[in-house]
Amino acid sequence: DAKTTQPTSMDCAEGRAANLPCNHSTISGNEYVYWYRQIHSQGPQYIIHGLKNNETNEMASLIITEDRKSSTLILPHATLRDTAVYYCIVRFPVSNDYKLSFGAGTTVTVRA
């Protein structure tokens, strides 16, 4: 699976949009971009995933650049409960050896 690079940490204000960048310059044509988050002392939570097109769900939006070498996760209206470690992962969506490899992620702190 392609390696990803994320900032170590970032702060954002409650109620504002939080934009989390991720670089994945070695991504291959069939690899998807996944985002998970982990709130302290809990298991990771799936947020969103995409291949080429921008995606949106009830939690967030995913913007993938045209060359697919980077992406941005957008939390439209950050709340204090969004404070967590956010992981950007690229991988094939379905395979016989389905597993996720987690990097260090971005520690996001939402401040009132």
Partner 1 sequence: GAVVSQHPSWVICKSGTSVKIECRSLDFQATTMFWYRQFPKQSLMLMATSNEGSKATYEQGVEKDKFLINHASLTLSTLTVTSAHPEDSSFYICSASAPPANEKLFFGSGTQLSVL
| Closest separation in Å from C-beta 46 to partner 1 | 5
Cβ distance 3 to 26 under 8 Å?
yes
Q: What element of type H or E holds 49?
A: strand 45-50
Residue closer to partner 1 (CB basis): 75 or 85 = 85
Signed CA dihedral, 109, 105, 92, 21: sign only: positive
Residue closer to partner 1 (CB basis): 16 or 102 = 102
Cβ distance 83 to 109 under 8 Å?
yes
Binding residue (CB under 8 A) for partner 1 from 79, 100, 109, 111:
100
Residue closer to partner 1 (CB basis): 71 or 87 = 87
Binding site for partner 1 (CB under 8 A): 32, 34, 36, 38, 41-46, 49, 87, 93-94, 97-105
